[in-house]
Amino acid sequence: MINDMICRIFSHKKNSRGFTLAELLVAMVILAFVLSSLLLFFINCLLMNEANSELITAAHDAEHVLELTKAMAYAAIANSAYADWGNLRNEQRQIDITEVTTGGYYKAITVTVRWDGKINRRREFKLFTQVARTN
């Protein structure tokens, strides 16, 4: 009786517990696919984070230029370029000012910030406002 139990424990039958080599290879392929998908997702999140950070910096620079322009006297507001702070790669700022009315009571101000993104793509951000002349 004990001898039969020992023989059953140590016998190698087809229904013995364990994984075959093929099952292990399939599991490893599935695991590699899942891990590579997660890595790709993580890399895309990092790239999107960098792009959004650049966009926030461009918006801040445009707001700063707009505030400097708003602080000027109405007659002194003209198309001009401000000093380059170098916050973004190859950053360029352009200010377009147009008279909205024929009497010169309103000026439309558009600040455009252009830069080269980290993904080697030219990006642009525009900010628009109107300034009224006060008498």
70 pLDDT above the threshold of 90: no
22's enclosing H/E stretch is: helix 21-70
- What is the arithmetic mean of pLDDT over 95-112? 80
- What is the arithmetic mean of pLDDT over 84-101? 76
Residue in the block written with tokens 């990006």: 123
Q: Phi and psi for 118 in degrees, rounded to 5?
A: -65, -20
- For residue 3, what pLDDT is reported? 65
In whole angstroms, what is the distance from residue 121 CA to residue 115 CA? 8
- For residue 85, what pLDDT is reported? 65
Mean confidence (pLDDT) of the chain: 82
Token pair, residue 24, equals: 């292990």
| Most confident range, picked from 29-33, 112-116, 125-129 | 29-33
Q: What pTM does this model have?
A: 0.68
Torsion of CA 101, 102, 106, 112, to 10 degrees: 80
- For residue 1, what pLDDT is reported? 65
- For residue 102, what pLDDT is reported? 62
